[in-house]
Amino acid sequence: MKIDRAELRVVSLPLLKPFRTSFGVMTEKNFVLLRLFGEGLEGVAEGVMDIRPDFREETISGALALLQDTVLPDLLGRDWANPEQVMRQLSGVRGNRMALATVEMAFWDLWSRSLERPLSTVLGGVREAVPVGVSLGIQNSVKATVDSAVAHAEQGYRRIKLKIQPGWDVAVVRAVRAALPETPVTVDANAAYSLANLNTLRELDTLGLDYIEQPLAWNDMRDHAKLQALMGTPLCLDECITTAQDARKALETEACRLVNIKVGRVGGHLEARRVHDVAAAFSAPVWCGGMLESGVGRAHNIHLATLENFSKPGDTSSSSRYWARDLIHEPLETVGGMMPVPAGHGIGVTLDLPFLDTITQQKFALGPLQQPVAGR
């Protein structure tokens, strides 16, 4: 599979309503979109790094520089047998998992389309639809949170996840549990707590949660292991896990009992599949997390979540919850708490180019032995 040329864009897609977490409030999703072209086909992926290094250490500006100056020039104008060969070529790049994932995922899409097969099939998936939960940002009141949780449960979502932070935790979780005693409920702290908050975390432990996601520091497995030993509720790690080795260490030391796999966070589908397999070896379930992706990233997530050990509902809820208009033609909507896998080759979605042009902030075209050419 020869990669003839590439196009990088920085895109700003407005959210339907603000999404608040312990990091702050988002009103639009800014991201890198990569298109790879080869043999008359196109593969596409989006980067999950943010403008600021608040989730992990990567940023949009840093990723753009790395992709334009180092990564893509190594790949363009050359033939590649499979994604494994592409990643071996890039193995000398340390860290920068999100930037590398953007390239790897776009190549998976391109390669799957050349094989005329869906990405899920090429990855080894076993499902035609995946179970879906919903992630609710921090609301203006406890009542607003309960109302939203109940409404989404009535729509069929199979898990309600609540974003929490110190001061917005026990009361809101207790209220949602009272309103939805039979619905699986989880919380996501995005690393907002420390062991100094142990009393609060122990209160959460009494509320029948399915799991507590990333309560402590983004890079601290040791304290998570200490906390898990004191808790009956399973801990789930997110930010801490960037490789299969991280997953092995976390499960070996009992720093968690299940893992959130975000394909962009771990460096692409190859490493996501390795994390999935390591967790399965420990009989630990996994689920597919989200980063407020557009339809491109959401489609990649759906295909990945067809692998067998994705046994917990993921974050791939309906696109219409987030966007008045997505940047793809195909609707990605849940039915009865299940998200169908997009039909067709590759990731099964196509870009709405006229609309994409209206939300593109920067555009760069790259070809073999060429410098990037800035666009709009």
Task: Name the catalytic one among 161, 262, 312, 363.
Answer: 262
Active site residue 226: no
Query: What does the alpha-carbon distance between residue 272 and residue 307 come to, in Å, rounded to a whole number?
Result: 10
Q: Across the strands, what pairs with 195?
A: none
> What is the largest distance, in Å, between two alpha-carbon atoms of the chain?
62
Task: Name the catalytic one among 29, 161, 163, 312.
Answer: 163
Contact between 83 and 111 under an 8 Å Cβ cutoff? The reply is yes
Active site residue 363: no
> 156-195 in b/e burial notation, b at 16+ Cβ within 10 A?
ebbbbbbbbbeebbbebbeebbebbeebbbbbbbbbbbee
Residues labelled as active-site residues: 163, 262
